[in-house]
Amino acid sequence: RTLRVAIMGLGSYGTRVAEAIQDCKRTKLVGVISGTPSKITAWQSKYNIPAKNCYNYENFDAIKDNPEIDAVYVITPNGLHKSQSIRVAQAGKHVICEKPMAVNALEAQEMVDACDKAGVKLLIGYRMHFEPNTLEIVRMRKAGELGTPLFFQGLSGFIIGDPTQWRLDKELAGGGAMMDIGIYSINGARYMLGEEPVWVTAQETKNNPEKFKEGVDETIQFQLGFPSGAVASCLSTYSMNNLDRFFLNGNKGFAELLPATGYGPIKGKTHKGPLDKPHTTHQTVQMDEMAAIIFDGKTPELPVDGREGLKDMKVIDAIFQAVRTGQKVKLDLV
């Protein structure tokens, strides 16, 4: 069965996803939700989308009466994800929502609850969970090829441009670099080590308070402790480039991804040699896998459901609390 998707938010990532869907085997772009009529017209002609599958942010609840749409992919600013996802769920459609799924754990929990109540799936756009070299490291770690995993390092950052963009607006972004890019190191620490963190410490540096206003983090270093005794040390920043690296070390071997989370190709090596799984467009694979999750009940190797997203939001809440208080914050994600 083909997953018929409407994209909400026709911005830069929405555009990338739309292009990637064109190569999907069992996912089809059939609708759009946008506040900009000119974009709707352009997408209609480019992707052959009928007028009856086009909505705006005011009227999209009517999607409940549209049997030609199975799911809505929410690709709007973070601060809008919760209310938009809940409206989609209440319209009886499956929700695919971009990361970060919300701006805090409370919101994320509300989304999980609303989708449960509506009987629809909630999936988060964790495209790395389907990336072959990433999965190869996870396989090696599970097979014991690295020995006991003891340390993960995640470096996530880039220099952000235009100071007026929504990513630097507390209301729309929910924070700064952590929500946008630091989340990759959080998520990566969890899937690379294969455990849930039980404590967090964190330190913030802000060198440009003009650009990074109150509640918008510029640079945060954070550390995560895991039940086995493994630790993670991570950097999240909007002020430095060349930061997209994962390093996992066990007592018998190591794995490195560099770049670790970009659009690819993802490259890396282990103590056994280079990682050589072929590059595939992340979003194409993700969407076809999501079709299988929704229609076949497939369980992916690394979860992408709302509860997985909620865990990252709990870690982010704890990181912000650790920054505020200077204290080690305990976590219970299980």
Which residues are catalytically annotated?
99, 184
- With b for 16 or more beta-carbon neighbours within 10 A and e for fewer, the 270-291 pattern comes to beeeebeeeebbbbbbbbbbbb
Per-residue contact string for residues 14-53; x = within reach of ligand NAD by CB under 6 A: x--------------------x------------------
99 is a site residue for ligand NAD (CB under 6 A): yes
Residue from 178, 188, 9, 28 nearest 97 by CA: 9
Residue from 199, 138, 204, 139 nearest 177 by CA: 204
132 is a site residue for ligand NAD (CB under 6 A): no
259 is a site residue for ligand NAD (CB under 6 A): no
Enter the tokens of residue 243: 């930061």
- With b for 16 or more beta-carbon neighbours within 10 A and e for fewer, the 51-64 pattern comes to eebbbeeeebeebe
Q: Are 100 and 313 in contact (CB under 8 A)?
A: yes
Smaller CB distance to ligand NAD: residue 195 or 312?
A: 312
Q: Helix crossing, 12-21 with 282-296: angle to 10°? A: 70
The binder of ligand NAD chosen from 53, 66, 78, 236 (CB under 6 A): 78
CB of 212 to ligand NAD, least distance (A): 17
Interaction with ligand NAD in 163-222: which residues (CB under 6 A)?
Answer: 166, 172, 180
CB of 166 to ligand NAD, least distance (A): 5
10 is a site residue for ligand NAD (CB under 6 A): yes
Smaller CB distance to ligand NAD: residue 9 or 188?
A: 9
CB of 45 to ligand NAD, least distance (A): 18
How far apart CA 141 and CA 252 sit, in angstroms, is 10
Backbone angles phi, psi at 331, to 5 degrees: -130, 145
Q: Are 200 and 291 in contact (CB under 8 A)?
A: no
Smaller CB distance to ligand NAD: residue 191 or 226?
A: 191
How far apart CA 122 and CA 294 sit, in angstroms, is 9
125 is a site residue for ligand NAD (CB under 6 A): yes
CB of 174 to ligand NAD, least distance (A): 9
CB of 273 to ligand NAD, least distance (A): 28
Smaller CB distance to ligand NAD: residue 20 or 89?
A: 20
Q: Are strands 199-205 and 231-237 parallel, antiparallel or unpaired?
A: unpaired
Smaller CB distance to ligand NAD: residue 24 or 329?
A: 24
Residue with the closest Cβ to ligand NAD?
A: 11
